[in-house]
A and B are shown apart, each in its own frame.
Chain A
Amino acid sequence: MTDPIYVTDALIAEDIDAYLARHEQKSLLRFITCGSVDDGKSTLIGRLLYDSKMIFEDQLAALEADSKRVGTQGQEIDFALLVDGLAAEREQGITIDVAYRFFTTEKRKFIVADTPGHEQYTRNMVTGASTADLAVILIDARKGVLTQTRRHSFLAHLLGIRHIVLAVNKMDLVGYDKTVFERILLSYRSFASEIGITDFTAIPISGFKGDNITALSSNTPWYKGPTLVEHLEGVEVAAQRDVNSNFRFPVQWVNRPNLDFRGFSGQIAGGSVKPGDAVRVLPSGKQTTIERIVTLGGDLDEAVAGQSVTLTFADEVDCSRGDVIAAADNPPQAADQFEATLVWMADEAMIPGRAYWLKLATQSVSATVQAPKYEINVNTLDHLAAKTLELNGIGVVEVTTDKPIVFESYADNHMLGGFILIDKITNATVAAGMLHFSLRRAQNVHWQASDISREMRADMKNQKPALLWFTGLSGSGKSTIANLVEKKLHRMNRHSFLLDGDNVRHGLNRDLGFTEADRIENIRRVGEVAKLMTDAGLIVITAFISPFRAERELVRAMLPEGEFIEVFIDTPLEEAERRDVKGLYKKARAGQLKNFTGIDSPYEVPESPEIRIDTTAITPDEAADLIIDRLLG
């Protein structure tokens, strides 16, 4: 078989400078291969590496030896071994993960994201797909369109991959039969249009034999389309497309070497920019003009999507990390409530109402997610009712951020519409999200600025507002001590208010139960009420079990620095259970009470509370005095 794609050796040997000049102009395509080991995915990738001469002699020698020893192809080379068979990874107990491979042809450099195809690795595939311009969906010609084909296609489409290649593999095993290929094509087409894939390229191949990979095969004279590599070399890449959209520049870093220079560094997320362009800084909306595009190699006349540059303004306009510099006549919106598709990536399920960090472009904000509107079954694409999302779960949710963020829909701009959620305690990346649209425009919900400030209200009461947040097990003594604290404050003419857990559940939070999600919403509401009361100048005392660290931290973050005082009423479980003032532990032990903290629901001990009360060492009265000393002292 002649091989027109890779006949470069002669040029390398004869005129290396000509070769280099040509190769400097190559573009880059990132793609993902979807399929399982059985579809011949590893064989295909191994074949691409091999054919593009990315395999060296020492590796090849090792490969040949391995092929004979453990290969599945008899005496022939087993290309799958090149890409680190997943079996080996399993044996070693290593995460089955995303691996990135590289190869180069005459026209392009390729980065292949290689991920396992089974349903339990959905998050890995989503990760690999997030940076891909193209997806190769592998089908075993003997088996046709399977459930996993649908899943892979759905995920590729969900992540906005525009180029889909249907590689009908193992054609050698069906005798290169045209009707087999056409039957698969037909059935895939009807499914694809169902999920919104309007365009794809189908290629009959054999990764093992090399048919239609780099050269058209004589085994499939009926196939007139491009070879796989030809197609990979020809498709338009994302960066090219982004150049034609509106200018978007998320600011990463303010460059300030001295008082005379102030530049804004970032990577262009859409469109292009020239000195003299009118731009807006979002979310402030201030307008200015681009003065220079600064790089180490000299100022540029123009910069385009994908480039990392530093911009300067003609005027002194405020701008910092997280802001977005955008075309003045067509800026993106800012909002604080969105609909989004979420892919859950953590072992711990999503907790509706819990605050996570949300990172979108260079913006980081606190965000909460409501229970999903629905979850999507990745195999059937059915919409299912769901209260949460588990690992690999995909659902449509409402996301609320604590301040407006600059965004575009993911469909319009991946860089301004794709985000991750980060657990505030473990710092793990727990989800990937794609914004659809804002549910309300933040600019319509202005904060009502009142003429009387919170400082004026507090001054009038001659006190510093604070929130004494009691936390501890049921029966630890929270309410008792909190009551004593309030009585003493009252005698000292301090204006206070005690928010008690049981009382609040009779009114404001009557609609909430005791599931994890409801407990979180309970605390969030109490936090908001307590915040309003401190705004009014009060010393607020709350007594809630508040078992989760994340929610206590959420309330802490709502208040000005220093006003949240966490009071940990530290009573060991055995002691609280021994006291069992309300008889609840007995019920819980008998299984009559579900989700009871300490029994079948966790209590996360505060790591560094402002005040810790050991109720086995001091009396409630002594405890109250100690707390007041700390508060007023």
Chain B
Amino acid sequence: MTDTLTHLDRLEAESIHIMREVMADAAKPVMLYSVGKDSAVMLHLARKAFYPSPPPFPLLHVDTTWKFKAMYELRDRMAAESGMELIVYQNPDAKARGINPFDHGPLHTDMWKTEGLKQALDLHGFDVAFGGARRDEEKSRAKERIFSFRTASHGWDPKKQRPELWNLYNARKAKGESIRVFPISNWTELDIWQYIARENIPIVPLYFAALRPTVERDGLLLMVDDARFPLNEGEVPVERSVRFRTLGCYPLTGAVESEAATLSEVIQEMLLTTTSERQGRIIDKDGGDASMEKKKQEGYF
């Protein structure tokens, strides 16, 4: 056979190799599942890696209670389909204090996501957590390892990363340390879309354009996904044909106006688009240029 593997074949094989390699040294691994397209691809790869066994770890959704309704639906469906245990964690402090994106700004992400993640990992004693981050997303991630070490307090020290040569990963760690593993580090946004198309992977319908009730805030188009959305005086949601390029908490995720209703059209739009993927996300912007890096040192995924 002289046919060469395509770029998607090679990326797939690499990701599967990484996931299986984790099983050699991990005591209690878990897969962080955020229900977005990257998570969808990562889950699909996990099912491929261990077939005919189900993936030998649970899915963990660190929930903020503010995700889109459609995300919760797909999450429950995919957990059932994959035969994996689904752990949903909601930070009880954030819940008790009623932390929300409208009133609390950056504290919302900090408490629900950053703190929530640490609490969930500690509570269950997970020593390895798979995450769906990609290196092409953001400057500081371009330098992050596939196996990324966290101290007992979940900190990330960019100066103490282990070199990764060939396909050899050193997953040894001291008691209390944990590892975040990013099996799709080398995938780009286009790769993700092409793979979703090739493998027919179910994704949240919000990625496709449809008429949705929206309001415009600070230059972002926000979807009014439920009655908790506090409308300003005189503000009336407008039905617009929109879709989302990334998914997170609905009050923090900007939609783009679009008519792309199929996967091909979405990819077409992505290829012709002129703004980068994370632009619709508020989270990168607070704290300036090094903000993601700072968040990561504090323990945000």
Contacts and interface: CB of A to CB of B under 8 A. Distances in A.
Contact of B159 (A94, A111, A256, A296): A94
Contact of B165 (A267, A308, A420): A420
Majority secondary structure, A binding face: mixed
A499 B262 CA distance: 78
Contacts of A240: 2, 4
Given A109-B191, A126-B165, A321 B142 contact: no
B5 A267 contact: no
B7 A28 contact: yes
B17 A267 contact: yes
A99 B143 contact: yes
A257 interface: yes
Contact of A111 (B21, B186, B265): B186
A341 interface: no
Contact of B5 (A57, A239, A429): A239
Majority secondary structure, B binding face: helix
B20 A253 contact: yes
Given A307-B13, A432-B165, A24 B6 contact: yes
A420 B170 CA distance: 8
Interface string A351-378: 0000001011110000000000000000
Nearest to A302: B1
Nearest to A425: B174
Interface in A69-121: 84, 92-95, 97-102, 104, 108-109, 111
Interface residues of B, number: 67
Nearest to A131: B166
B232 interface: no
Contacts of B265: 16
Interface stretch (A397-405, A411-419, A535-543, A568-576): A411-419
Given A12-B268, A94-B158, A266-B20, A418 B4 contact: no
Given A56-B273, A294-B51, A28 B11 contact: yes
B143 A97 contact: yes
Contacts of A94: 143, 158-159, 293
Instruction: Output the residue of A93, A253, A308, A357 with the most chain B CB within 10 A.
Output: A308
A561 interface: no
A102 B186 contact: yes
A12 B272 contact: yes
Contact of A252 (B17, B165, B190, B290): B17
A56 B275 contact: yes
Contact of B13 (A267, A296, A302): A267
A308 B46 CA distance: 12
A550 interface: no
B194 interface: yes
B35 interface: no
A27 B12 contact: no
B48 A295 contact: yes
B86 interface: no
B135 interface: yes
Contact of B162 (A27, A243, A428): A428
Interface of B: 1-2, 4-14, 16-17, 20-21, 23-24, 47-54, 135-136, 139, 142-143, 158-159, 161-168, 170, 172-174, 185-186, 188, 190-191, 194, 197-198, 264-265, 267-268, 271-276, 279, 290, 293
5 contacts: A20-B264, A58-B274, A58-B279, A99-B143, A111-B186
